[in-house]
Each structure stands twice: as C-alpha cells, then as structure tokens.
C-alpha cells in the first residue's frame, strides 16, 4: 500500500528540511493511490491520486449536494476537510465565505485528492466527534501464503454418492482422496461435518474447501472462492483499529477505528492493571468492553465490503502485552510489579468464539507473541514491518512512541529491545493544555515571517496541544531562544524575527508561553505552555533518549553505524523529525535515514495474516530478541540525567 503523510502544514517551518516520510517514491508511470476517509460513515476508499473528491466517491452511493453536475457553479457540494487542507481554488473563493474557507470547508467537485484526506460530508458541527487515529502504514511486499486458504475441489463422477465404486467411502474420505497426497490426514470439525452432506449436494460435488493446516473448516459454493477475506486488529491502549484484508491480493479493503472504551478507567495500562488487581470482576469488565468495541468495528467492516461474519475464517490481533491478556481474559496482574511477568509470551491460536469474537463458528484468532510484560506483540509487529529481522548488514533503529516508548535496535544477527517509561506527555496528557489527537488539537507548530503559526486537527479554533504539537512548539522556542537548553521558559536575548518575547508571561515566579489568546481559542480560554509542561516533556524525552543510548551501548555502536531509523505509532507518524531531533527525543541523524512506518502494529499483523512464514518469524523473534530491563540497570539513571537537558545546538 502506498502511504502518504496525512499531515501537511500550511506554510513552511523556518529552515526545516522536508523529509521523505512514508513509502519510497515510485516510478511516474505507475498509478499512485491514496486514502480518502469519508465521515460520518468512516468509509475508507483507496482512490487514484489526482481525482476530485466527487470523482472518487462517484460510484460509492454517497450523497452529496449539487445541481451543476460537478461544473463548480452551484457551490452546493460542500464537504468539511478535517485533515490539513491546501489553499482554496478561485471558484471556491467566489462561492464560499471566508469563515467557511477557514473552517476547512471546500467543494467536492473542485478539491483534488493528492494525499491521504479525511472529509465529513456534512460540514455542520462535526469537530467534537473527530479523533485523528492512525490507521494506515507502509507494508513491504509479501509473497501470499495466507494462514487460511480456499481451494476448488471437484469430486469425479465415480466418487459421488450414487456411484457403486464409492459406496464404502465416507464424504470426508472422498474429499481426502481427491486432495491426496497433501491432505491425506484431512480433518473436519463437527460444525463442518454436520453441514457437509447438504453442501455437497447443493454444490453438485464441486465446491470451495476452506483449509487451515490439515483442517477443512467449511465446504462452500464455488462462487465464494472470490469472497476471501481476513481481519487484523491493532489493540491500542487508547484506540482500536480493525482492517479487512483481501487474502487474494493482500490489499486493505476497509479500515475502521474507534476509541478504546477501557479509557474510562484510565488512559494507560498501569491504571488498568491496578483496577484488575483491586476489583474481582475487573478482568471480565475490561474483556467485555474490548469485545464490544471490536465486534462493533467488524460490523462496520463487513458493511463496507457487503459481507457477513460467516465469511471470515481468520483474524490476527496485535497489542501491548496487557491488552493481549485482556483480549484473552488472562489475568495480567503480574505485569504491574517486579519482575513484571506476564502469564505467557508465546503466540497463541484460539477459536474466535472463545474470546467472543463474532465470526464464522470455526474462525480462528491468531494473537501475536510477546517478549515481556512491556515489549508486546505490537513491537514484534513493528519489527516485522521494518524488515529488521530480514536484514543481514544494515543496523535498524525502531521506535514506537507512546506512554511506553518501545525501542528496538539491530538486525537478523542480533536484536535488542527495551521499554522506556516515557509517561503520558508525548500523547498530550499530563500537559496543562494537553489533549489527545482530536479536533481542536494543535498538531503542528512553525514560525513563518516572525509569526508563530500552527495547524489544528479539524481546521477549527485550537483547544489545546497534542503530542506532535508539543514537540514542535518546544523545538521552535528552543530555536528562538525562548526556552533554554536546561528547559527554562525565558525572554530571549537573541534578536531577529523568530523571537517570541511578547508571548512570554510571568506567573507565580516562573514564565509561561502564550500559545493562543482567549479570542483565538475554541473555548474562549487562553492556551499556555507552562514551565511544568516543559519539565514533563523533558522527563518523557529523557527516558526515550536514555533507552536509545543504552541499546547503542549494548550493541557497541554509534549513531553513524545506524542505517535506518523507523518511527511507528501515532506520534511517530505525525511528529516532525527535525523537531524530534532538536529536543533530543532521538539522536541527531541524517534526516534522510529517518522515516515513518505509520500504523506498524497493524502492518506487521497483516504480514502474519498473509504469510505463514511471518507467523513463524514472529514466534522466532520472541525467542531471539534480547530484552534489556531498564529498571534493573544501575546506569540507566546516569543516562537519563544526561538526556534531561535539551541539545544546545540548533539544527537549522
């Protein structure tokens, strides 16, 4: 799948080099596709780059206004663009008000889809519903060998039930003989056996056998050979993402996401672990909440492809170790305290119905292996997506940035991992005006013509800062001298257009930075970056940077020895790489080697779904990778203290 960065700020960050994020460039002769997410249906369409929104959704039975047939004369095909939006066309400037244009309202017949785009087909009052959840990512080419296969089987006339030569053969034995020698030990579960006589007659003894290893899960009609899908779930602490994958060609047919309902009990795994320990029915409650979310996601996926639950025989789930335990209704309490022991780290295959996943009665759920209590199936999925486990010479650094900064370093010869307790600052929590990435969050900050400018999710007035906006803002203020390398907000001694001294406000003996006035903000309250916010960011980035340094020391390498750096997860996808290096979140690399993997957890799970080899590789990785437990290392505090301060040198 081609990946395009959904975040493209208006204007250019002062002196910042644009980075080659996402998948490599392809030849101009090849058609390029991007994603169009149509809300409130949450329908994801893969469309040709360069089409207008109207052209892209023409055959999807989606209602849009309009009287002029797309000629740009009536101005009625209004949509609200919720991701970053470019300048309006001349026609849009004539037909739409200035206020509408500022809110991201555009005409579907005039707006070109040239990157991943999120739109709402009814522009009114949607901003409070929109959450920016990372769903897509770059996936390497996978030779298809899915976990479940379909095979056309035709019984010859002398094997059919009215033939004398087959009178002593069972129905299953007849199928075995046709499929010899590969399936001489073929087994069928009870559900399949009960329906087999009827299905053989209905299909005239020529049908599609649904196969998993030496099991025939079902016998279907020939026309169902083309209805060949699997599911992938990314079990995030804050968000859940489901994908419907076409097992014939590996394409993503539909993608749906939602906020994790468990968040009502806390936005991090520690709070959930504590709740399970203190409440007798806590584990059951968390499992039920998750499965209600997941089954709601699957219903929407089925609707997008016009299929039903009985059409799905296989799914793969990846998440952190705690989330995978909750999925399986396994008590994760041991992860909460030293030695942070999960119940299991092996990859697991269970019947979907055993975890209340509503699919075909014989459907299987593969749950990714983990390494430890805080290095889960999501990081193993990231390693698969990065290609590090298949790389002989190049050393790869990968980071999945969130409340726990999960990090890996190495290649197929040696891979080391750690989990750095970054805290919630990188996700916008524990920040005075912080918020998750939803409508109203400042996601991107830059200085242009001496003015501090920002891009806001949903194209409305700002409500606060999400993680990427926080990193950008601090990087910009370090550049202007309004934050010292020690992390103090201050009036800059520098002179020049970038200095923001007029926004420095003294409060209770320290300085705060005024990001937006009450008139500029959505809630009519000023938005500040406080001194405490900067300290929270220092703690978070210090933990991640210390983890990277310790892995590099363990491997005996320097930054120059690292060939590729991959950032995964929501923050990894949306954060500006130069900003991340400026604050010291990651070392000062050549920007050309740093790229985003997007939602790599679901990408790695998709690779497993599509290839038995990757399932085996994932299980091998669980044994092969070396986990460095930072809390047990005496030198971790030394590295942590060294990385609390920001780098002194500007990068631009």
- The enclosing domain of 327 has a CATH number of 3.30.420.480
Q: Which residues contact 90 (CB under 8 A, 6 or more apart)?
A: none
pLDDT at 652: 67
pLDDT at 457: 86
Question: 604-625, pLDDT tens digit by residue?
Answer: 999 999 999 999 999 999 999 9
For residues 408 and 544, membership in a common domain is answered with yes
Cross-strand bridge partners of residue 242: 233, 256
Cross-strand bridge partners of residue 14: none
For residues 186 and 311, membership in a common domain is answered with no
For residues 296 and 318, membership in a common domain is answered with yes
Q: Would you tell me the crossing angle of helices 600-610 and 377-386 to the nearest 10 degrees?
A: 80
Query: Band of the pLDDT at 234, cuts 50, 70, 90?
Result: very high
Query: Band of the pLDDT at 469, cuts 50, 70, 90?
Result: very high
Residue 508 lies in a domain: yes
Using the predicted structure, report yes or no on whether residue 151 has a pLDDT greater than 90: yes
Taking CA atoms, 586 is separated from 315, 474, 583, in Å, by 35, 15, 8
pLDDT at 87: 86
Q: Which of 225, 255, 279 is the last residue of a domain?
A: 225
Strand 404-411 and strand 594-598: the pairing is unpaired
What tokens appear for 119 in the block?
């739109």
Cis before 164 (ω within 30): no
pLDDT at 312: 97
In the chain, how many domains are there?
Answer: 5
Residue 140 lies in a domain: no
What tokens appear for 514 in the block?
């005024």
Reference 621, options 315, 378, 316, 383; nearest CA is 383
Mean pLDDT of 98-123: 84
pLDDT at 160: 62
Residue 182 lies in a domain: yes
Q: Which of 533, 554, 576 is the last residue of a domain?
A: 533
Reference 22, options 605, 594, 578, 606; nearest CA is 594
For residues 404 and 548, membership in a common domain is answered with yes
pLDDT at 144: 83
Mean pLDDT of 490-504: 88
8 Å CB contact between 592 and 563: no
pLDDT, averaged across the chain: 86
Lowest mean pLDDT among 462-471, 491-500, 544-553: 491-500
Using the predicted structure, report yes or no on whether residue 85 has a pLDDT greater than 90: no
pLDDT at 421: 80
Lowest mean pLDDT among 36-40, 252-256, 513-517, 557-561: 36-40
For residues 115 and 233, membership in a common domain is answered with no
Using the predicted structure, report yes or no on whether residue 159 has a pLDDT greater than 80: no
Query: Band of the pLDDT at 137, cuts 50, 70, 90?
Result: low
For residues 47 and 85, membership in a common domain is answered with yes
The total of other beta-carbon atoms located within 10 Å of residue 45's CB is 20
Q: What percent of the chain stands above pLDDT 90?
A: 56
- Could you tell me the residue range of the domain that residue 565 belongs to? 388-422+537-642
Highest averaged pLDDT of the listed ranges 50-59, 271-280, 314-323, 591-600: 314-323
| Distance in angstroms (rounded) separating the CA atoms of residues 363 and 192 | 12
Residue 380 lies in a domain: no
For residues 635 and 567, membership in a common domain is answered with yes
pLDDT at 491: 92
What tokens appear for 223 in the block?
């026309």
Phi, psi at 82, each rounded to 5°: -95, -25
- Return left, alpha or beta for 501; rule: phi > 0 is left, psi -120 to 50 is alpha, else beta: alpha
Lowest mean pLDDT among 365-369, 444-448, 467-471: 444-448
What tokens appear for 160 in the block?
């059919």
Strand 414-421 and strand 626-627: the pairing is parallel
Taking CA atoms, 332 is separated from 85, 345, 498, 571, in Å, by 43, 12, 50, 26
pLDDT at 44: 72
Query: Band of the pLDDT at 167, cuts 50, 70, 90?
Result: low
Q: What is the CA radius of gyration of the chain?
A: 27
Q: Which of 208, 225, 242 is the last residue of a domain?
A: 225
pLDDT at 27: 42
Comparing 359 with 467, the larger pLDDT belongs to 359
For residues 235 and 323, membership in a common domain is answered with yes
Residue 23 lies in a domain: no
Taking CA atoms, 382 is separated from 218, 234, 259, 424, 612, in Å, by 33, 11, 21, 21, 17
The total of other beta-carbon atoms located within 10 Å of residue 475's CB is 29
For residues 410 and 517, membership in a common domain is answered with no
Taking CA atoms, 68 is separated from 59, 100, 217, in Å, by 18, 20, 53
Cross-strand bridge partners of residue 562: 395
Mean pLDDT of 262-269: 81
Q: What is the DSSP string of 320-374?
A: -HHHHHHHTT---GGGGSTT---S--S-EEEEGGGGT--S-TT-EEEE---SSSS
pLDDT at 30: 64
Mean pLDDT of 483-496: 91
Reference 416, options 381, 378, 385, 389; nearest CA is 389
Tokens 């399932």 identify what position? 615
Question: 572-606, pLDDT tens digit by residue?
Answer: 778 899 999 999 999 999 999 999 888 899 999 99
For residues 403 and 541, membership in a common domain is answered with yes
Residue 206 lies in a domain: yes
Domain containing residue 204: CATH number: 3.10.20.880
Question: 188-225, pLDDT tens digit by residue?
Answer: 999 999 999 999 999 999 999 999 999 999 999 999 99
pLDDT at 15: 41
What tokens appear for 495 in the block?
């002179």
Mean pLDDT of 51-80: 77
For residues 361 and 267, membership in a common domain is answered with yes
- Return left, alpha or beta for 115; rule: phi > 0 is left, psi -120 to 50 is alpha, else beta: beta
pLDDT at 84: 76
pLDDT at 136: 55
Label each residue of 577-602 as H, E or C: HHHHHHCCCCCCCCHHHEEEEECHHH
pLDDT at 377: 95
Residue 25 lies in a domain: no
Using the predicted structure, report yes or no on whether residue 4 has a pLDDT greater than 50: no
Phi, psi at 215, each rounded to 5°: -105, 135
Residue 192 lies in a domain: yes
8 Å CB contact between 643 and 545: yes
Comparing 561 with 102, the larger pLDDT belongs to 561
Using the predicted structure, report yes or no on whether residue 97 has a pLDDT greater than 70: yes
For residues 504 and 626, membership in a common domain is answered with no
Cis before 181 (ω within 30): yes
């Amino acid at each position: 799948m081609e990946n395009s960065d959904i975040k493209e700020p208006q204007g250019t960050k002062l002196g910042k080099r644009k980075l080659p994020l996402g998948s490599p460039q392809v030849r101009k002769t090849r058609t390029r596709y991007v994603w169009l997410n149509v809300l409130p249906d949450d329908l994801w369409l893969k469309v040709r780059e360069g089409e207008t929104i109207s052209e892209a959704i023409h055959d999807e039975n989606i209602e849009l206004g309009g009287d002029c047939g797309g000629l740009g004369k009536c101005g009625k095909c209004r949509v609200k663009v919720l991701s970053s939006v470019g300048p309006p066309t001349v026609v849009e400037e004539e037909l739409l008000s200035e206020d509408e244009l500022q809110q991201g309202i555009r005409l579907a017949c005039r707006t070109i889809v040239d990157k991943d785009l999120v739109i709402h087909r009814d522009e009114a009052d949607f901003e409070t519903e929109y959450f920016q959840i990372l769903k897509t990512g770059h996936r390497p080419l996978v030779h298809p060998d899915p976990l479940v296969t379909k095979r056309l089987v035709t019984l010859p006339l002398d094997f059919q039930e009215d033939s004398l030569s087959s009178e002593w053969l069972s129905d299953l034995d007849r199928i075995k003989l046709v499929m010899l020698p590969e399936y001489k030990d073929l087994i069928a579960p009870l559900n399949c056996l009960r329906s087999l006589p009827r299905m053989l007659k209905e299909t005239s003894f020529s049908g599609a056998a649904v196969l998993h290893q030496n099991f025939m899960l079902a016998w279907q009609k020939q026309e169902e050979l083309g209805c060949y899908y699997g599911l992938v779930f990314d079990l995030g602490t804050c968000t859940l993402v489901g994908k419907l994958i076409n097992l014939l060609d590996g394409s993503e047919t539909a993608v749906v996401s939602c906020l994790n309902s468990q968040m009502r009990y806390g936005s991090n795994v520690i709070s959930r672990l504590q709740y399970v320990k203190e409440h007798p029915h806590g584990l059951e409650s968390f499992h039920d909440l998750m499965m209600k979310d997941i089954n709601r996601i699957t219903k929407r996926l089925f609707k997008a492809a016009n299929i039903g639950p009985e059409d799905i025989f296989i799914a793969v789930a990846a998440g952190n170790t705690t989330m995978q335990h909750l999925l399986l209704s396994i008590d994760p309490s041991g992860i909460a305290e030293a030695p942070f022991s999960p119940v299991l780290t092996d990859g697991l295959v269970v019947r979907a119905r055993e975890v209340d996943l509503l699919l075909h009665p014989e459907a299987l759920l593969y749950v990714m292996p983990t390494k430890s209590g805080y290095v889960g199936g999501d990081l193993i999925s990231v390693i698969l997506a990065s290609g590090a486990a298949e790389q002989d010479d190049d050393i790869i650094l990968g980071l999945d940035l969130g409340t726990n900064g999960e990090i890996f370093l190495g290649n197929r010869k040696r891979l080391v991992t750690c989990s750095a307790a970054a805290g919630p600052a990188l996700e916008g929590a524990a920040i005075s005006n912080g918020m998750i990435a939803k409508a109203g969050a400042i996601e991107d900050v830059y200085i242009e013509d001496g003015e501090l400018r920002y891009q806001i999710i949903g194209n409305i007035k700002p409500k606060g800062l999400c993680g990427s906006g926080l990193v950008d803002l601090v990087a910009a203020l370090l550049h202007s001298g309004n934050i010292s390398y020690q992390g103090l907000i201050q009036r800059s001694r520098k002179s020049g257009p970038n200095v923001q001294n007029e926004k420095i406000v003294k409060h209770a003996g320290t300085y705060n930075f005024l990001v937006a006035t009450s008139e500029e903000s959505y809630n009519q309250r000023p938005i500040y970056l406080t001194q405490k916010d900067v300290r929270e960011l220092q703690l978070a980035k210090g933990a991640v940077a210390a983890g990277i340094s310790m892995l590099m020391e363990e491997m005996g390498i320097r930054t120059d020895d690292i060939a590729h750096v991959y950032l995964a997860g929501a923050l990894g996808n949306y954060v500006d790489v130069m900003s991340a290096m400026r604050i010291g979140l990651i070392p000062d690399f050549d920007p050309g080697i740093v790229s985003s993997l997007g939602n790599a957890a679901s990408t790695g799970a998709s690779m497993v779904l599509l290839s038995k080899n990757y399932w085996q590789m994932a299980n091998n990785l669980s044994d092969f990778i070396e986990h460095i437990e930072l809390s047990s290392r005496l030198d971790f505090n030394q590295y942590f203290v060294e990385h609390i301060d920001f780098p002194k040198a500007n990068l631009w």
